[in-house]
Amino acid sequence: MWQDGPLTQAVKAGAICYLDEIVEARTDSTVVIHSLTDHRRRLTVEKKGQEIEAHEDFMLVISYNPGYQTVLKDLKPSTKQRFIAINFDFPTEEVERKIVVNEVPGIPPEIAHQLVTAGRKARLLKDHGLEEATSTRALVYAANMINAGLDPVAACQVAMVNPITDDLELAEALMEIVHAHFGT
């Protein structure tokens, strides 16, 4: 029995369909959206031999991190050209502190400040061998662990260092940053 998936349902209902990390999808499945995202605004459902005209309110939103994936995991230019692009960067230091404080009720503001400052310093290693930058999400994870009673240095190691590198030298450099901000 056929059952419409989220994209088909959104096309029919006029909803917004959000496809996260689109570059992780198979190439043959991403080309399916081409006729949907150009002047045709039609979705072909090959298994049913059907073409569905998109509802006038239908919108498709995709996300991915350019430069994060290898060249083999980038969007084709023909796909990119069907969308407008908005680039996002990390929030300002002040906003990032507010995020940590709001996401982790009870975290002392000075701890949030130390986490954010350490995270921002760690991001400077991004172009020096570190493939992934310390995310705001990682700062929130560390804050949650600190709030739960884990030592701040240990919390930073498991939330901000270990998930982004296996390289011992880079991990050591990141831990030096952590130690410098947490005074141990």
Domain ranges of the chain: 6-80, 93-182
Q: Give the per-residue pLDDT at 160.
A: 95
Rounded to whole angstroms, how far apart are CA atoms 55 and 114? 49
Rounded to whole angstroms, how far apart are CA atoms 164 and 109? 25
Rounded to whole angstroms, how far apart are CA atoms 39 and 43? 12
Q: Give the per-residue pLDDT at 156.
A: 97
Q: Give the per-residue pLDDT at 184.
A: 65
Q: Nearest CA to 161 among 152, 174, 148, 149?
A: 174
102 strand-pairing partners:
none
Which residue ranges in the chain fall short of pLDDT 70?
Answer: 67-73, 184
Question: For residue 89, what is the DSSP state?
Answer: -
Query: Is the model's pTM score more than 0.85?
Result: no
- 51 CB-near residues (< 8 Å, 6+ apart): 42, 43, 44, 45
Q: For residue 108, is it left (φ>0), alpha (ψ between -120 and 50) or beta?
A: beta
Q: Give the per-residue pLDDT at 28.
A: 76
Q: Which residue has the tokens 């230019």?
A: 77
| Count of CB atoms situated within 10 Å of the CB of 103 | 16
Q: Give the per-residue pLDDT at 8.
A: 94
Structure tokens at 90: 């990390």
- 28 CB-near residues (< 8 Å, 6+ apart): none
Q: Which residue has the tokens 């400052």?
A: 117
Rounded to whole angstroms, how far apart are CA atoms 32 and 29? 5
